[in-house]
Structure 1
Amino acid sequence: MFSSVAVRVLGGLRQCLACGLLAFGIGCPLASPHLAQAEEWQASLYNEGLPTHLVAVDKKRQTFMFFEKKSPLKLKYTYPCTTGQLTGDKQSLNDLRTPEGIYFVEYKIASGLDFKEYGGIAYTLNYPNPVDRLRGKTGHGIWIHSKGFGIEPLATRGCVAIGLKEIDEVGPQLTPGTAVVLAEKMDETAQPRSDTGTAQELRRLMQNWSNAWASRSVKMFDYYDPDAYSKAMTENFVAFRQNKERLFKSLQFIKIFNRKINVLEGPGYWVTWSEQLYTASNLSTEGVRRLYWQRGKDQKFRIVGMEWAPRDLGMRADFQKGQLVAEAPLQQVSDASSEAPQPPRLDMPEAAPEKTAPVAMTVPQPSQDKTAQAATAKPGQGEKLVAANDPLVPKRGSTPPPAEVNWGARPSMEEAARTEAEAAQKNAAAKAAEQAAPQTPAALAASQLPPPASVQAPVQAPATAQVAGQMTAQPVAQAAASTPASAPAPLALTPDVVAGLEKAVKAWNADFASRSMDIASLYDQARFNREAGTPRGYSYNSTMREFERRFAAPWLRLISRKPKFELQGTLAVSHVEQLVVTPNAMEQGVRSFWWNRDDKGDFRIVATQFRPDELGLAADYLDQVSDDVSAMVEKWRKAWEAGRIEEYIEYYADDAIQQGRWGAKNIQKQKEQLWQRVKPTLVQITGLRLVADKQGIRADMNQVYADSSGHTDRGTKTLLLRFDGKNWRIAREDWALLGAPVEPVGTVQ
């Protein structure tokens, strides 16, 4: 236990820790973090719409609280906790702050975590939420976790950490969907407060919004702030509305049941959420719906963001038995158009929920800053694939990296100053290295970007050494003096040395690309991770286990540019710009190796580092795969146009999503039924554009479609194409109708 006074004292003394990274390349020094940009938020709970249990964190007092609602609200657990190293609301990636607002537990990670830093268990939160994205906040990987060797105040990079005993006690109750209030201040003795009417109003608004949706009424769109929604979500509001209006005309009915509507106030916004069952003439799905509300200039609340978490809640079974108890009866009156039903098309409604599977922890994957920005960009600006014009489509992707990865040797506080001799030696070494092998700014600049897909430890200054967990400054001359007398003489970048290094880098690339554990022979087992002045991280054995884990993937692709070299004392250092593509991730940056030359003259790796950076390598990747992708799209188009169902369905992944249909079998069934009545006569594609995506390749194109009934339409087709190790297949297909029906023109050759 510790006092709030100790928290403030330690918080004032604490300096920025260098960021921990992943084991295939190790370390990047952290630049000066941003200043806090938000006022202190003091959270309040109201007695209207409270959930059955929730977490609250008082950052100022470093206190973790768990509440249960059993008429009245009861504080069940209170623990000391630790939050971000710097105070204030999180604003940007790597700013070392814990966010403030209303968040929700997503899932539990119970394996693959470093025990020292995480205690072996973590619960992920949904930061950034839609309002965070609306406000331009960046970052990711905010977790509730533990610490293997105790906690101390203000010691994380943005997460919330509690003790081992505490995480074991409260953890089973941190189920997916649990509300988490992260605030600068929270007075549990004054909770809950009487509702001023706002919470009740928002519960009513969510119910009315559900009624308008179920009635297929255009009044549903009056509940939204279009501009804010477009900024906060991964879809444009105009496209969202057009898609919904088409569905309102094509569906025979929609029913929506909210089991209980909860509400909490955040800093400048409110959140309402409910367990929800959606059932329509073609689909039934259930999960948790969340709406984010802000007041407009007219002081009316409007929706600025939405979230949907598919989950088996038993509501569908209760509905089928006639036993579903909803919060209030819903209107079933429809004001939809009385037009005659149209033949089924691709623009179907909400997708069915994903098949749930146990969450297997993967080593955190890269999430480059530009990718994070792309999540808030409008369509057509090069952002990552828009997840359809439908909020019910479940998100697909790898586990996001945590906000902190401090595996390996823990650095101390930055030295306030260095000696003149040390600075002079450092400048001289840098100048000599530059003359020997000039480096590009992108390759050598320090980065605040998140870690790649392997755990790295912080880069240390060349003139530092580690003693019993403490970092101590040491002149280069002293470091050299401390090496054994038999240490080899410094290298020179002679032609034979450069040739040997190029051969060694080429061998590493070949083994990595072929997923061969022969890569182990390139590492100096005795000296790896033990050389003074080099990055520290995983041990040799841990690094090899990480290779085995990564090589277990069905495929990977490596793109590597020509290496560049420099010298550092008795070691040679190689820097190479690389892109690694795996089934669920894409990472690029500068990979560096510190090489020692053994008695036989062979080079062996003694330290590694990876600095993520945007280097334009995705274009090189597209050059390699574009011919195959384009050929696949054309074959798919021809199979579709000819109505050859067996050939057509071969181009879809087993778990593909096609505008409301989940799985290749369901897609095939719908097409068979449709093509028995009307057959496609023309599928015309123009303006094909390919964009690299961490989940595969996104293909956008203009499409004109015609069938045997005389129906024609045109619009934009978007395909997410995923490589399975042998072939490219469609993982997702989205369709946005444009304008009125058109007369088809000549076919595509």
Structure 2
Amino acid sequence: MKIIFLLLITLSLYSNDILTNYRINGIDNIEKQMDLELTKKEYWSNYIKDIDTTFGYIESYPNILTCNKEKSTLNLYRKDLNNTYSFKKEYSAYTGKIKGDKIKEGDLKTPIGIYQITKKLSKKTNLDSFYGPLAFVTSYPNTYDKYRGKNGHGIWIHGLPTEQTRDEFTKGCIAIDNTNIECLNRNIDIDKTLLIINSNEVQKNISKETLATILSQLYLWRYYWLFDDIEGYLNFYSDEFLRFDGMNFNKFKNYKTRVFKKVEKKTIIFNDINVLPYPNTQDTYYITFKEFYKSDTFKFTGDKTLVVRIDENKTMKIVTEK
């Protein structure tokens, strides 16, 4: 259906050329032409012009939690009927005893970054009463954390002790009072909630021009991948690239060169795309999406993460991926 929809749009713009191309070359050539249209910034600028980009380009998460460590607050934003992120609630929060970004296990710091909520814990799952009635487990360390050599685990959003006393700080978690953790539980679906933690105010009202640039280049990367242009594909990778499994750029280049030489017909579809500026960085963006990949010899469906930097030429450079 999506291909037909895009074809209709393209037909309305280039009907004579498209029909002639189809008449002479068939549907494969038309698909390639449409894939090329998706690489154009003009398409994405028009597509996102009326989309709320308060926190970035977000398809997957109607709920956004933002934590301002300096003010010790946790804020909930939720998409309303107009698909606009509306502020819903501010919770007072405890964060790590030590200021700064978490680097290693036991440093008593709350991490700065972008995280999913992976699990909910409660008394039914034998949650220790020290963490209150509920706890939400985050995805720390994420792909970018691991790229930078950060470690540790067990960063949660949780309540306050029901049977013990505690200090007014945590070992790295975000803690809110028990009434609020239960309120938060009623107001979010953990599978559709993203957590953004910053040292101070989380960046808002992200540039649509920048997002359109990144989205068009994401699809240009896909275009080179689809049509086995190894030079164009690898040009999107930083010399400092390190894949999640430790593969550096030179090994990755050799590996992909061998794969591209197969020249297989491929299907590559991206859904649930999210592009967010990474907290406390300049020109670094966290991109996630669902990828469907199929070729003659391989098939994959699953989550994909890219961390990219925008260089001085406004070109997206991938520093790590998973």
What's the TM-score, normalizing by structure 2? 0.69
Residue of 130, 138, 146 corresponding to 1:117: 130
Once residues 109 and 176 of structure 1 are traced to their aligned partners in structure 2, the CA distance between those partners, rounded to angstroms, is 14
Taking a change above 3 Å as real, the CA distance of residues 300 and 192 of structure 1, as seen in their structure-2 partners, is: same
- Structure 1's 194 and 152: CA in aligned 2 closer, same or farther, altered over 3 A? same
State the secondary structure of the residue aligned to 1:289: strand
Match of 1:229 among 242, 245, 261: 242
Contact 2:268 2:293 in 1 (8 A): yes
Deviation at 1:118, TM superposition (A): 2.3
Structure showing greater radius of gyration is: 1
Q: Return the alpha-carbon distance in structure 2 between the equivalents of residues 64 and 221 of structure 1.
A: 40
Three-state SS of the structure 2 residue aligned to 1:57 is strand
Contact map agreement 1:251 1:280 (CA 8 A) in 2: no
- Counterpart of 1:183? 198
Q: Which residue of the partner structure matches residue 384 of structure 1?
A: none
Q: CA separation in 2, counterparts of 1:184 and 1:204?
A: 30
Counterpart for residue 12 of structure 2? none
Going from structure 1 to structure 2, the CA distance change for 1:151 and 1:212 (only over 3 Å counts) comes to farther
Matched, 1:220 2:233: yes
> Would the aligned equivalents of 2:74 and 2:91 in 1 still touch at CA under 8 Å?
yes
Give how far 1:154 is off: 4.3
Once the two structures are TM-superposed, the CA of residue 197 in structure 1 deviates from its matched residue by: 2.0
Specify whether residues 202 and 120 from structure 1 end up closer, same or farther in structure 2 by C-alpha distance, changes over 3 A only.
Answer: same
1:84 Cα deviation after fit: 0.7
The CA deviation at 1:200 is 2.2
Partner residue in 1 for 2:161:
148
- Are 1:252 and 2:264 matched, yes or no? yes
Find the aligned partners of 1:279 and 1:260 in 2 and give their Cα distance. 18
Q: Which amino acid aligns with 1:144?
A: I
User: Is 2:180 the counterpart of 1:170?
Assistant: no
Structure 1 CA distance for aligned equivalents of residues 274 and 289 of structure 2: 6
The residue that corresponds to 2:57 in the other structure is 49
Given that 2:54 and 2:85 are in contact with CA atoms closer than 8 Å, whether structure 1 keeps it comes out as no
- Which of these residues, 126, 131, 139, is aligned with residue 126 of structure 1? 139
1:405-461 deviation line (CA, Å, top 9, x unaligned): xxxxxxxxxxxxxxxxxxxxxxxxxxxxxxxxxxxxxxxxxxxxxxxxxxxxxxxxx
Amino acid aligned to 2:295: A
Distance 1:102 1:283, change over 3 A: same
Cα gap change, 1:247/1:121 in structure 2, threshold over 3 Å: closer, same or farther?
farther
Change (3 A) 1:257 1:112: same
Q: Could you say which residue in structure 2 is the equivalent of 1:99?
A: 111
Matched letter for residue 143 of structure 1:
W
Alignment TM-score, normalising by the size of structure 1: 0.32
1:216, 1:122 → 2: CA distance?
A: 46
1:251–1:281: 8 Å Cα contact kept in structure 2? no
* Alpha-carbon shift at residue 302 of structure 1 (Å): 0.7
Instruction: Provide the residue aligned with 2:291 in structure 1.
Output: 276
Amino acid at match of 1:147: L
In structure 2, how many angstroms separate the alpha carbons of the residues matched to 1:221 and 1:303? Answer: 9
**1:484-539 C-alpha deviation (Å, 9 max, x unpaired):** xxxxxxxxxxxxxxxxxxxxxxxxxxxxxxxxxxxxxxxxxxxxxxxxxxxxxxxx
Specify the code of the residue in structure 2 equivalent to 1:95.
Answer: D
Could you tell me how far apart the structure 1 residues matched to 2:95 and 2:189 are? 18
Match of 2:96 in 1: 84
Match of 1:131, SS state, is helix
Deviations 1:96-131 (A, max 9, x none): 010112222233345554432223543332323333
Secondary structure at the aligned position of 2:200 is classed as coil
CA contact (8 A) 2:63 2:192 kept: no
Shift of 1:252: 3.1
Give 1:60's aligned residue.
70
SS at match of 2:220: helix
Contact 2:101 2:112 survives alignment (8 Å): yes
Paired residues, number: 259
Specify which of 223, 236, 241 is matched with residue 253 of structure 2. Answer: 241
Whole-angstrom CA distance in 1 between matches of 2:92 and 2:267: 45
8 Å CA contact retained: 2:77, 2:86: yes
1:73 matches 2:85: yes
Per-residue deviation at 1:208? 2.0
- CA distance 1:81–1:202, shift in 2 (3 Å): same
- Kept in 2: contact 1:81–1:153 (CA 8 A): no
Within 1, Cα distance between the matches of 2:72 and 2:321?
30
> Match of 2:111, SS?
coil
- Is the 8 Å Cα contact of residues 233 and 305 (structure 1) preserved in structure 2? no
1:167 counterpart letter in structure 2: I
Q: Distance in 2 between matches of 1:99 and 1:194?
A: 22
Which of 113, 127, 152 is equivalent to 1:139? 152
Displacement, 1:57? Answer: 0.7
Distance 2:273 2:176 in 1: 30
Go from structure 1 to structure 2 and tell me whether the alpha carbon gap of 1:205 and 1:153 turns closer, same or farther (over 3 Å shift): farther
C-alpha distance 244-122 of structure 1, shift in aligned 2 (>3 A): farther
User: Which residue number corresponds to residue 274 of structure 2?
Assistant: 262
Aligned to 1:210: 222
**How much identity, in percent, do the aligned residues show?**
25
- CA distance in structure 1 between the partners assigned to 2:247 and 2:165 by the alignment: 41
Query: For each residue in 1:225-269, what CA deviation from the matched residue of structure 2 results, as whole angstroms up to 9, or x when unmatched?
Result: 132325x65223333333333333447322111224222111222
- In the alignment, is the contact (CA less than 8 A) between 1:151 and 1:163 conserved in 2? no
Matched residue SS, 2:251: helix
| CA distance in 2 between partners of 1:177 and 1:306 (Å) | 22
RMSD: 3.0
User: How many angstroms apart in 2 are the aligned matches of 1:220 and 1:211?
Assistant: 8
Q: Distance in 2 between matches of 1:278 and 1:174?
A: 28
Alpha-carbon distance change, 227 to 121 in structure 1, aligned in 2, over 3 angstroms: same
CA offsets 1:662-681 (integer angstroms, 9 cap, x no match) = xxxxxxxxxxxxxxxxxxxx
Q: Which amino acid aligns with 1:302?
A: K
Q: Looking at secondary structure, tell me which structure has more helix per residue.
A: 2
- What secondary structure is seen at the aligned counterpart in 1 of 2:190? coil
Q: Is the 8 A contact 1:102 1:265 kept in 2?
A: no
Unaligned runs of 5+ in 2: 1-52
Q: Shift in Å at residue 296 of structure 1?
A: 4.2
Q: Distance in 1 between matches of 2:268 and 2:238?
A: 22
Aligned-pair CA distance for 1:284: 3.7
Q: Distance in 1 between matches of 2:252 and 2:84?
A: 41
Q: Distance in 1 between matches of 2:252 and 2:77?
A: 37
Larger relative contact order (C-alpha < 8 A, sep ≥ 6)?
A: 2
Please state whether the residue corresponding to 2:304 is helix, strand or coil. strand
Give yes or no for contact 2:121–2:127 (8 Å, CA) kept in 1: no
Q: Check 1:47–1:156 CA distance in 2 against 1; reply closer, same or farther (3 A cut).
A: closer
How do 1:688-707 residues align onto structure 2 when only pairs under 5 Å count?
none
Look up the SS of the partner of 2:169 in the other structure. coil
What SS does structure 1 have at the residue aligned with 2:268? strand
1:616-671 CA distance string (max 9 Å, x none)? xxxxxxxxxxxxxxxxxxxxxxxxxxxxxxxxxxxxxxxxxxxxxxxxxxxxxxxx
Residues 155/194 of structure 1: CA separation in 2 closer, same or farther (3 Å cut): closer
Structure 1's 161 and 294: CA in aligned 2 closer, same or farther, altered over 3 A? same
**Within-5 A mapping of 1:429-468:** none
Give the Å deviation of 1:292: 0.8
Question: 1:249–1:186: structure 2 CA closer, same or farther, 3 Å change rule?
Answer: same
